[in-house]
Amino acid sequence: MMAGERIWSRITGTGGILPGRAVSNEELARQLAERGVETSDEWIVARTGIRQRYLADPSQSTSALGAAAARAALAAANVDAAAIDLIVLATSTPDQIFPSTACLVQDELGAPGAAAFDVQAVCSGFVYGLAVADAMIRTGVYRRALVIGAEVFSRILDWHDRTTCVLFGDGAGAVVLEAATEPGILAARLRADGSQARILCTAGRVVQGQLQGDPFLRMDGQAVFKLAVNVLDASAREVLADAGMSVGDIDWVIPHQANVRILSATARKLGLPESKVIVTVDQHGNTSAASVPLALDVAVRDGRIQPGQRVLLQGVGGGFTWGSVLLRF
Ligand code: ACO
C-alpha cells in the first residue's frame, strides 16, 4: 500500500460452525410435548419457515464455537492466527460476564497482542461488528481483523414458552477482514431505538450473587415483525444511497435470518426478487449474531457468491438495533 493511498477493508475468508446435531421440528415437538408444551411442524413451518435448528450440547461454549468458525475463516483466507491484530466478537450469550468472549477466543486461537472486545447488539451484532472493524481498519492502525458472531441462544430460551423456544438455534460464523487498496466494504450504517427495548429482551441480571429479573428471552413477536420489515427496508436504501447505487445493483442480500416471512416481506418492499435473498433460517433457525456470517459462509462455499459481486448484509434485533453493510465480495 502506498503512502497517502485510501485504505479500504475486504473480506478475504469466511467460516462457520453448527454445533451438536440438527433437531427437526418433529423431534422438538415431541420433546416439548413431554413438558406439556404443544406445537407442531406444520405451525412452525407455516409461521416461520424453520424446519430444523442445531442445539449445542452443554460442553460447547460460545468461545469454542467462535474459535472454530474463526479457524475456518482463517484457513479460507490463508491467514495465520498470529497475524490477526483485531478481534471483534458479537454475542448476547457470552461465556461469562467478563472477560469478553473475544479475549477467550484470542487465547484459544493464539493471536497474542490483537485487540479483542465483544459487541452487544443482539441479532444485529455481526453487522455492528463488521462496521466497527471496517472503521478501525480504515484508520490505518489495524490491518487484519477477525469479525465473529457466536451464540448459544438455546441457553436463554424458556422451553415452556412455545412462542419463542421453537425459533432459535446455536452456531457461529466468522470473517477475516483485511486492509486493501480497493473495496471491499462500500458503505455501512448502524442505528438503534432504545425506546423499543422491551419488545425483545432478556432482562435478568446478577446482583450480589443472586439472579434478579427474568433470565429468559421474551418477545412481542408481532411488534418485532413489523419493526423489522420497516427498518430493514429503510436501512438498505440508506447504504445504497451512501454508495451511489440502486436496488438493481445488488447481487445478493443476506438479511438476519429470523423468519422466512420477514425475509420475503423485506424483499417485496425493496422490490428485490426473492431469488437474490440467501435463506438459511429453514436449516439453522435464528442464530442471532451468528446468522448473517453463517449464511454468508454457506453461500460463498456453495459458489453462489462470486468474487466481485455486490452483497448487502443486514442485521436487526434486540435493542432495538439494526444496520446494513454493502460490500463488493
Ligand atoms: N406452536 C403452536 N402454536 C403456537 C406457537 C407454537 N410454537 N407459538 C404461538 N402459537 C399460537 C399462539 O398461542 C396463538 O394462538 P391463539 O390464536 O390461540 O392465541 C397463535 O399461535 C398465533 O400466535 P401469533 O403470535 O399471533 O402468531 P404469529 O403469526 O404472529 O407468529 C411469530 C408468531 C412467528 C413469532 C411471528 O410473530 C414472528 O415471526 N415475529 C417476528 C419475530 C421473530 O422472528 N423474532 C426472532 C427474534 S427477533 C429478531 O431476530 C429480529
Distance (Å, rounded) from C-alpha 73 to C-alpha 226?
Answer: 34
Per-residue pLDDT of 27-61, as tens digits, reads 999 999 999 999 999 999 999 999 999 999 999 99
Domain map (residue ranges) of the chain: 8-182, 186-328
Residue 197, all three cell numbers = 427495548
Q: Tell me, what's the pLDDT at 1?
A: 61
| Res. 157 pLDDT band, cuts 50 70 90 | very high
* pTM of the model as a whole: 0.97
32: CB partners within 8 A, 6+ apart: 38, 39, 159, 162, 165, 166
Per-residue pLDDT of 185-209, as tens digits, reads 999 999 999 999 999 999 999 999 9
Residue 111, all three cell numbers = 493471536
Q: Which residue type does 113 have?
A: G
Taking residues 136-152, what's their average pLDDT? 98
Q: Tell me, what's the pLDDT at 98?
A: 97
Ligand 1 atom with the smallest distance to the CA of 47 is: 34
The pLDDT of residue 168 is above 80: yes
The pLDDT of residue 3 is above 70: no
Taking residues 286-291, what's their average pLDDT? 98
Per-residue pLDDT of 75-99, as tens digits, reads 999 999 999 999 999 999 999 999 9
Asked whether the domain spanning 186-328 has the same topology as the one spanning 8-182, the reply is yes
| Res. 256 pLDDT band, cuts 50 70 90 | very high
Residue 267 exposed, middle or buried by CB count within 10 Å (0-12, 13-18, 19+)? buried
Q: Tell me, what's the pLDDT at 290?
A: 98
Q: Tell me, what's the pLDDT at 20?
A: 87
Q: Tell me, what's the pLDDT at 5?
A: 81
113: CB partners within 8 A, 6+ apart: 85
Ligand 1 atom with the smallest distance to the CA of 166 is: 7
Q: How far apart are the first and last CA of the chain?
A: 20
Block residue for cell numbers 446494513: 324
> For helices 291-301 and 62-77, what crossing angle results, to 10°?
30
The pLDDT of residue 224 is above 90: yes
Query: Where in the sequence numbering do the catalytic residues fall?
Result: 123, 256, 286
Q: Is the CB of 47 under 6 A from ligand 1?
A: yes
247: CB partners within 8 A, 6+ apart: 236, 240, 270, 271, 272
User: SS3 for 323?
Assistant: strand
The pLDDT of residue 175 is above 70: yes
Q: Is the CB of 33 under 6 A from ligand 1?
A: no
- Domain 186-328 bears CATH identifier 3.40.47.10: yes
Cα of 197 from ligand 1 centre, angstroms? 19
Cα of 199 from ligand 1 centre, angstroms? 13
Strand spans (E) along 182-319? 185-192, 200-201, 205-207, 210-212, 218-219, 252-255, 310-317
Query: What is the residue-wise DSSP string for 192-223?
Result: E-GGGGGGEE---EEETTEEES--S-EE-HHH
Ligand 1 atom with the smallest distance to the CA of 162 is: 7
| Res. 246 pLDDT band, cuts 50 70 90 | very high
Q: Is the CB of 200 under 6 A from ligand 1?
A: yes
Cα of 279 from ligand 1 centre, angstroms? 20
Ligand 1 atom with the smallest distance to the CA of 164 is: 35
Ligand 1 mutation target, pool 51, 225, 230, 322, most atoms within 8 A of CB:
225
**Are 90 and 125 spatial neighbours (Cβ–Cβ below 8 Å)?**
yes
Rg, C-alpha atoms of the chain = 19
The pLDDT of residue 74 is above 90: yes
Give me the helices (H) in 78-144, please. Answer: 101-109, 125-138
Q: Is the CB of 264 under 6 A from ligand 1?
A: no
Cα of 221 from ligand 1 centre, angstroms? 6
Q: Which CATH superfamily is domain 8-182 in?
A: Thiolase/Chalcone synthase (3.40.47.10)
Q: Is the CB of 316 under 6 A from ligand 1?
A: yes
Block residue for cell numbers 418433529: 26
Share of the chain above pLDDT 90, in %: 98
Distance (Å, rounded) from C-alpha 222 to C-alpha 84?
Answer: 41
Ligand 1 mutation target, pool 161, 191, 222, most atoms within 8 A of CB:
222
Average confidence score pLDDT of the chain: 97
Q: Is the CB of 116 under 6 A from ligand 1?
A: no
Distance (Å, rounded) from C-alpha 315 to C-alpha 329?
Answer: 18
Q: Is the CB of 167 under 6 A from ligand 1?
A: yes
Cα of 37 from ligand 1 centre, angstroms? 14
The pLDDT of residue 294 is above 70: yes
Cα of 201 from ligand 1 centre, angstroms? 16
Taking residues 279-284, what's their average pLDDT? 98
Q: Is the CB of 221 under 6 A from ligand 1?
A: yes
Closest CA to 313 of 171, 193, 177, 115: 177
